[in-house]
Amino acid sequence: MPVVILSHPKEQVLFTNKPAETLFKKITNTKRGLSYSDIKIILPDTLKAGGSGEFTNVECQIPVNGKKTSLWLEISSNTVTQDNEPYTILLLADISDRKIKELQMIQSLEKERSLLEMKTHFISMASHEFKTPLTAISSTMELLQTKLQMDNLLDQFYTHNISKISSEIFKLNTMLDEILTLSTIASNNIEVRKQAVEIERVIADIKYQYFSERKDDRVLNLKISGTPHPIYADRNQLSKIFTNLVGNAFKYSSSNPVVKIHYQKTRVVIKVTDNGLGIPEKDMPYLFQSFFRGSNVDSIEGTGLGLSIVKDFVERNNGSIFVESKENKGTTFTIIFKYPDHIPAA
C-alpha cells in the first residue's frame, strides 16, 4: 500500500514507499521523484477530514496532469504531533477501477429506472387512449339498440348479437384495467393506503355492486362467524382482491359461490369457495403467474392477470393466500389477515 509521511511546517516529504512513488508518477505524469507540491493537490480534501489520534478516510478524485483523465484515491490520514511539530501520515489506495464500476452501475440503474418509468407511462397512456374509442363504440351500440327498441324493431336476433358485442367490449375494458394495474404494480408505483377496514363491509359492498341481480339468478352466499374485528389494510385493494376471487367463483362454476368470514382470536380467515371446474394439479404451481391460465379453462374468457394481482395485493397488505382445489369438484381460496396490534389514527 502507498504510504507518505509529511511535515507541514517544513513542507517536506519525510517518507514515501515504492507504491506511493508509482502512484504519484501516474498523477503527475512525470518520471521525477515525489515532492511536497505533488502531495498538495490531495491535501485540501485530506486535511478537511482533519483528525488527530485517529485515522480518517476520504475519497477524492484527482485529475491526472496533462491528461483529461483522473484517478480516484481513498486516503486514510492521521496527524500526530511530536516535539510540537505536526506530522501527517497518509495511507493511499487507488480505487479508480471500483469507482468506475460504481458509476457505471449507477448509470445503468438510472437508465433501467427511466426505461421502466417510460414503459409504465406508455402503458397507462395507451390503456386510457384505448378507452376513448371503446367508449364511442359501446355508446354507439347502445344508441342503435335504443333506436331499434323505440321503433319496435329490436327482435331476438338483434338483442342476441348486440349483447355479444357489449360483452366483448366489457371484456376488453376489464383487460385494459388489469394491464394498467399490473404495470403500476411492476413499476412499484403503487401506494398502499392502510386504514381500519371491516372486511364484511367490503364483501357486502362488492356483493351489492357486482354480484346482485345477475342474469342467471345466481347469488353470492355470505357466512360470518366469530366476533367482528377490523383489519388494517388498503380498502381499494381488498375490494379488488375479493371482486376478482368472487368473479372467478361465478365464472368457473354454475352454482352459488360462498364467502365465509371467520373471525378468530388473532386473525380473520376468509374463504371463497365454488363447486366448479377446479384447477388441475399440474397447473397449481403457476396459478399466480401473470398471463397463466388453467389448462381446463380454454372455453372461458380471461386474461390470466387477475390472480397475480390478487396475490400481490394480499401480500402488500401483509396477508397470506392459499388455494385448495379438486378438478371437477371445486376450488377454495383462503386468505388470512392478522389483526393489527394497534391501528394508527387516520
Q: Given the rule CB under 8 A, which residues bind other proteins? A: 128, 131-140, 142-143, 146-147, 150, 169, 173, 177, 236
Q: Which is nearer to other proteins, 141 or 336 (CB)?
A: 141
- Rounded to a whole number of angstroms, the minimum distance from the CB of residue 299 to other proteins is 25
- Rounded to a whole number of angstroms, the minimum distance from the CB of residue 180 to other proteins is 8
Q: Which is nearer to other proteins, 133 or 344 (CB)?
A: 133
Q: Which is nearer to other proteins, 57 or 135 (CB)?
A: 135
Longest dimension (CA), the chain: 113
Say how far apart CA 279 and CA 208 lie, in whole Å. 28
Question: What contacts 190, CB < 8 A, 6 or more positions away?
Answer: 184, 316
First to last CA, the chain: 58
Say how far apart CA 290 and CA 260 lie, in whole Å. 27
Say how far apart CA 325 and CA 329 lie, in whole Å. 8
- Rounded to a whole number of angstroms, the minimum distance from the CB of residue 137 to other proteins is 8
Using alpha carbons, select from 89, 87, 83 the residue that is nearest to residue 10: 87
- Rounded to a whole number of angstroms, the minimum distance from the CB of residue 124 to other proteins is 9
- Rounded to a whole number of angstroms, the minimum distance from the CB of residue 96 to other proteins is 48
Q: Which is nearer to other proteins, 177 or 200 (CB)?
A: 177
Q: Which is nearer to other proteins, 93 or 148 (CB)?
A: 148
- Rounded to a whole number of angstroms, the minimum distance from the CB of residue 113 to other proteins is 22
Question: What contacts 285, CB < 8 A, 6 or more positions away?
Answer: none
Question: What contacts 71, CB < 8 A, 6 or more positions away?
Answer: 23, 26, 27, 61, 62, 64, 94, 96
**Residue 42 identity:** I
Q: Which is nearer to other proteins, 5 or 137 (CB)?
A: 137
